[in-house]
């Protein structure tokens, strides 16, 4: 059987090793695309996990400031300068000497005097996430409301 001119042209341009090169290039390209998608998926999961931890840390820090507000409302003199933790005793918030821990979150309350009737309170929350540690802080000022206004 005689080959046509088109068949002769095709057979002259293709070599036996060319199919193997095409297969290797196709597998390399497919592997690269799969790696990019896997990386994007992992990064997205890490970001969502970190955002969830940060949101929970904000809640723990806000809870700390509200607890200090309750302590201030009971008696302003209970707000002693220094670093504290929080504990509930007999249904009432109290300052402790050590940071308190809730799940993976460690909360420390820093109280410092601005003047005789004003305290600056910083609620710092730190945690060890699955991928990296995190820390955030909220601050506010509390005024002695038991002092009459001039």
Mean model confidence pLDDT for the chain? 87
- Cα angle 101, 105, 108 (rounded to 5 degrees) comes to 65
Please name the residues in contact with 101: beta carbons below 8 A apart, sequence gap of 6 or more. Answer: 107
pLDDT at 15 (0 to 100)? 67
Region 80-105 average pLDDT: 94
Question: Does the pLDDT of residue 10 top 60, yes or no?
Answer: no
pLDDT digits (tens, 9 = 90+) for 47-58: 777 888 899 999
Region 20-34 average pLDDT: 88
pLDDT bucket at 20, cuts 50 / 70 / 90: confident
Rounded CA-CA distance 146/76 in Å is 8
pTM of the model: 0.70
Rounded CA-CA distance 138/10 in Å is 73
Which of 149, 75, 148, 85 minimizes the C-alpha distance to 111? 85
Which of 111, 135, 131 minimizes the C-alpha distance to 122? 111
- Cα angle 64, 138, 128 (rounded to 5 degrees) comes to 80
Alpha carbon 4 to its chain centroid, in Å, reads 69
Region 76-82 average pLDDT: 93
């Amino acid at each position: 059987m005689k080959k046509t001119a088109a068949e002769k042209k095709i057979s002259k341009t293709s070599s036996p090793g060319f199919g193997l090169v095409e297969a290797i290039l196709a597998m390399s390209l497919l592997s690269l695309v799969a790696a990019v998608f896997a990386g994007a998926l992992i990064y997205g999961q890490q970001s969502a996990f970190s955002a969830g931890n940060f949101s929970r840390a904000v809640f723990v820090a806000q809870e700390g400031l509200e607890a200090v507000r309750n302590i201030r409302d009971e008696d302003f003199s209970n707000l002693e300068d220094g670093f504290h933790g929080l504990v509930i005793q007999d249904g009432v918030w109290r300052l402790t000497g050590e940071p308190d821990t809730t799940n993976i979150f460690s909360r420390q309350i820093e109280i410092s005097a601005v003047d005789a009737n004003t305290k600056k309170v910083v609620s710092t929350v730190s945690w060890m996430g699955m991928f990296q540690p995190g820390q955030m802080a909220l601050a506010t000022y509390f005024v002695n409301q038991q002092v009459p206004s001039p």
